[in-house]
Structures are given as structure tokens and as C-alpha cells.
Structure 1
Amino acid sequence: MTSRDYLNVRSAPSTSADRVGLLSPGDSVKSTGRLSDGFQEIVFKGAARWTSAASLRAVPAAETSASAPATASPDTASKTDATPSATPKAATSATPKATTSATPKVVASKAQSVAKTAAKSATTSTATKTVYTSTAVNLRSGAGTNYRTYGTLAKGATLTTRGTATNGWTPVTYNGRAGWVSTQYLTTTKPATSTGSGTSSGSSSWASLTAGGSSGLSGLRPNAVGIVNRVLTAFPQIKTIYGVRSDSIDDHPSGHAVDLMLPRGTADSALGQQIANYFRAHASELHVQYIMWNKHIWNISRDSEGWRVVADRGSATANHMDHVHITTVWD
């Protein structure tokens, strides 16, 4: 089987299970045949692991076996028709080449050129155009709700289409990220949007964060910058914030997430809860997508469920006990 996209490899069939690796698009893996809750068991680095079944593709026999029986195809049929091997060479050699092959070859060449030009023109006219999101909508790795969500795009996000829609889903590019968006939430007219606080506040305030050991702030997207600005005014005791960094999940690398580090770590749990509650209460205003704090997660799209428990990840940092993680709507 091959991976359709970047896929997390987990120790068990659950999104809360530990991530033990990452598959890149086109990576080949061996399936054990076991399925559980939408996960496929695979052999990864010699051990039985789990990954999303929907994002794996079974490799056709034609791609894996060179001994597959030969079948007729448009290419082979065309060549057979163009080369009448039953005609003896003696019967064709008497006919001058100039009268039997030169003209047809020129005509065919011109016809192929015209066809290629028309096809290229048609592709170019429909392949790319600028569109906008008419509301907050998920950017997914494939054409369907069963595919991985990269992030939630804000209303008015600017996208470039990569081709025609498939089953109600349009292939797009957003800030260099190729993905799919439900076509019904796209428009060619940019909708009016509220202006956010996506510019840094006083340089001295941001300088204090740098002095406190913060990193990855210069690459933050406007919505994440708005979170930092609000922290500076509402919670000045926070001196260290981590923004853009490498990770298997797109939130931090794309500049849409920040980690608000508590001054005394786990000893500041009361402050952490206060911060988490504050940004939940102001989620719509500040374009918050979800918050992780103290082994719990809250998502604006599942607000009615409140704080949901997250499986133990081991350390205080991995369990978000010494910091509050905030991911914003993608802008």
C-alpha cells in the first residue's frame, strides 16, 4: 500500500495514541490486513503500527508484478494498426517513400500539434484562478470529509484553484499548501471581513518576549499575532511564547499556533486555567480554533462538549501542563 499524503503513524488505532513516525506521500508500507476505527495496521520499521486507512492506497497488481498478462491498450492498438506487418516488404518497397509516407506524416504531425495546443489551452483556462472562502472552512488533504484536516481557513482567505472540482470538492493552494475545500464555500468575490489585530504591538513589548527566551514569533500569521498581542495586555506575566517550529502537525510550522509558557511551569496551574478560560471566552473575537491545556482540549466547532480529556502523553510539556497551546483559524 502507498500513502496518499503525509500521515501520522501511531502506536494504536486512535488519534490520541502516541505518534511514532510519519509517512510521506508515495511511501510504500505493508498492511497486516487488520482494521480498527478507521485505522489500518501496517508494518512500520519492523513493528506493527497504525495509520489512517482512508489515506492509504492499494497498489494495483500492474504496478507490482512484471509478469501480469498482457492486455490491449490504446497505445498498443494504435501501433498495431499503423504497422501492417502482414504486408510483405517486397510489396511496399516498390512504392516511393515520398508518395506513401511523407504527406501523411506531415498531416499527422500538424494534427497532433493542434490537439496538444488545444488541450494545453483548455487546461490553462480552467486550472488556476483566485477564489475566496465565504465562511470559515476546513482545508483538507483530499476530496472528502474523511481526509485529514490541515486547518480551518478564515472567512475571506485567498486561495488559488489547481484544477476542476471533483464530487463537490475543489483542489486549491493556500500559502503554498496544496489541499481541498468544499466547493460550496468558495466564491470569486472577496467577502467583507472584520479587521483583526494581526500586527505586532509596541516593539518594546515584543522585545521583552524575545528577551524572555521566546522564539518563532516573526513567522506568525496575523491571527496568531493577535493572540500574542492580547497576551501582552491581558497576561503580562507571560514572558516566553513559542511560535513557528518544526512539527508533524501543521499548526506550528504554518504560523497558526503559539505555546504560552507559564512562568513557574506546573506550579502556575491556576494561571494556566485562567488563560485557557479567557481565550475560550474570546475565541470568536480572536479567531481561536482550539485550545489545549492540562490534558484537555477545547475546540470552537465542538463548543457544546466543553473541555474534552486527552490521553496521557507522558511528560508535563506533552500533556500541556506547563503551558497553554492555542491554534488559530488559518488566515
Structure 2
Amino acid sequence: MKRELVATRATLAWAVLTASLLASGLLAASPTSAATTTTTYTATTSVNVRTGASTSQTILFQLQKGQSVLAAGKVSGDWLPITYDNTTAYVWAEYLTADKTAASLVLTGPAGRRTALANVNVRATASLDADITAILDEGTAITVTGYSSGAFAQVTVDGTTGWVHTQFLSTTTDTTPVAVARYTTTTDLALRTTASVAATNQGTISSGSTVGGTGTHSGTYSQVVYDGKVGWVITGYLDAVSGTTAAYVLPLRKATLYGAKASVPIRSAADATSTELGTITLGFAIRTTGTTDGIFTQVIWNGSTAWARTSKLTATATVDLGSDSLNKLEPYGKAAVLEVRANFPKITTIYGWRSSSAYSSDHPNGRAIDIMIPSYKSNKALGDSIAQYFIDNGKRLHVTYILWRQRSYTLSRGSWKAMEDRGSDTQNHMNHVHVSFEPS
């Protein structure tokens, strides 16, 4: 890898490279800076990107509000085909807006590493006229962000953002996270697909195993690489091997406690006025270090230590909500059930987990509840008040969206939107308020 080359040398290298690639057939013609005419769409809220035009198709990732994508065709049956990772993926068009002027920066693939097919220039901007900031050798694994601008892919080199012409990059992106530290497991650990107790277990990592840590954490979980698989394990059971950089040494668990209230703030210091880093809910398992400071207990959070009020934690794990359907909910769902019972005594029936769902994975994942409205045809006001309660308290209760009377309300959008007619009063949510939650 070469750095700080003078402009004349960089220009000569580009000319020689281009001639070489033309002769070898790797480059059919000199790349140009002119972008092909494109149609782009921008997400108005978070929305799933799937392998096919159906909610039953595999979710590739979740597009976030404000991110733009490149259309691969016209909207058909409410689905927009897009270009993603050198193939066609699909997004529910209702949550996208066509850009009047094509977006200059679009998400066209996953972040990861692609290989340089030849010695390649890294440029300051997405243009052949831009300054060359580095020249990378053939075969170098280049970190890509997943974003493109015209014929250029956005990359990071030595912590600096740059641009490489996609003609000189492999089409396959290696998305496996890089391990930055090694740990020995202190107990048997489930390797989950996401940072949630409800996520699929890819297999059990035996106590005493060595795993690679990526330095990425989420709440009570840390991302690791083990036996060729990437997943999430509970932080607190990973003992850093000797010589590990201090920044990657993780706190170790001394005891496990549980949320004793509907909402338990996790704070940056043992002080009620300190920054709130997150919350846990009733029955949520939190690992502690065994250290206390006044009325606070030190807990393990986001790969480091934080604090929770001792009085809001308990050694008891069991929270019985009265039915298997509700007991299988994730903590955010359980906390919501308690709030409904406390604030709306007329509600006598709430459903939660079920094994399958035709429209989303929230019920099977334990992330949704259905609040049944008694005498719903004449009791619309009760349903309205419940829906509004979850809108008003949505951030605190970790709500993602609400369905009520054939309408949807997403917290990110901040407004109601009409839904298609699904057939019956139950399918159209006329007789119940549906509330979905973030993963716990």
C-alpha cells in the first residue's frame, strides 16, 4: 500500500493501469465520471428489504429513514424492485418516495470488504478528476460502506472516506466482521442471530471455548465470531485472553438480577441525574459486576459498565402474566401488558405470542400484543384512547408501530395511514389495537 504520492506519479500510474487493463480485457474502455441516468427512492421510515415481493420472503436488512436506493424497475403490486448487492431486492413502496432528482448517494449493498482486482486509485470524491489519496495494491481487501455514487463505491482507508471505481472491485462483498480481540467463554453460551433472547440460537458455545470479539455491543449482548458463524452472546461471560488491549477487555458477571419495575433506567453513573443509556423492563435479565455505590448497582451494558437503582432490581426471574401467550413475550411486550392492565381496567383480554403470523414476524418473535376491545362496534373511544396512550408513551415503551381500525401509525412517521382491506374485522384491526415493539 502506497501513500502520499505526488500528482504526476499518480496520473502516470493511472495511465499505465488503464492501458494494462485494456490489454488484458479487464477494462473494456476507460471509465468515465458521467453517471448513468437512474431513478432513486428515499425511505420515509424504516422498512424491510426482502429477497422477493412478499412479506413471507427473507428480510435482507432494514432500510432506515432518509436512506436512498436505486430502482431496478417500476412499482408492481405495491413492491418496488431495487438494486442491492448485484441482485434485485424488494421494498414495500408505501414507505418510499420517488426522488425528483436522483440521489447522489445510494445504498447499493452491504458494508464489508471487497477485493481490488488491480492496483487501484482511491479518490477524494466520486470523480476521475478528484485527487488521488492512496493507491492500493491488487488483492487488497478494501472496506466498503455499502454506498455508491454513480460508478464509484464509497470506501474507508485508514479511517478516511474515499471512492473507488467499481470496475476495479470484486462483485462479492465479504460481510464477516473482523475480530479485534479474543476471549475465553466462562460458561455455555447461546450464539444468537441478533442481540435478543428471542433470537434464533445458531448453536451452543461450550464453556472454555475461544471466540473472536468484533468490538460491537448492544445492550446486554456482544457480537462474536465462532466456528465460521457470526452471532451475539451475553456480555459478562467473555474473559479476555492475556495481552488484550484494555479497550477490548469486557466486564465479567458476578450475579444476575432482573427488572422489578415496568421501566428501569440504565445510567452512566451512580447518580439519578446522570445520562440515561437505556432501559430494561420487568423481568429483563441484567448481569451485574457485584459492585454497589449507595443506592445503585453496577450493571454490564453495551460492553462496559453502567448503573441501575438497586430498588428496581430483584433476584426473582419469574414474571407470570397469566397465560402462555403473554409469558412468551419479550420484556417490552410484558411491560406494556402491565401498563394496559393498570391504566385501562375495562380491558380483560390481551394476546401476545403466537407461533405464526401472516403479516409480520412480531407475534412469533414475542414483540407484539393485541388488546381486544370489548363491544368494539360501540366502544371505539376506548380503542382510540389506548392507541393514543401508546403514541404518547411510544418512546418510553419502545413502540415501533400501532394498528387500529384499518390504519397504521409508525412512531418514526408520526401519523396515521390507511391500510388495505384485509377482509374481516379482526384482520382489519377493528376489534383490537395491535402494538409492536422494538427487540428487547
Which range, TM-score by smaller chain?
0.3 to 0.5
Q: Which has the larger radius of gyration?
A: 1
Give the TM-score, by structure 2 length. Answer: 0.36
TM-score in terms of structure 1 length: 0.46
Q: Which has the higher contact order (CA 8 A, sep 6+)?
A: 1
Structure (1 or 2) with the greater strand fraction: 2
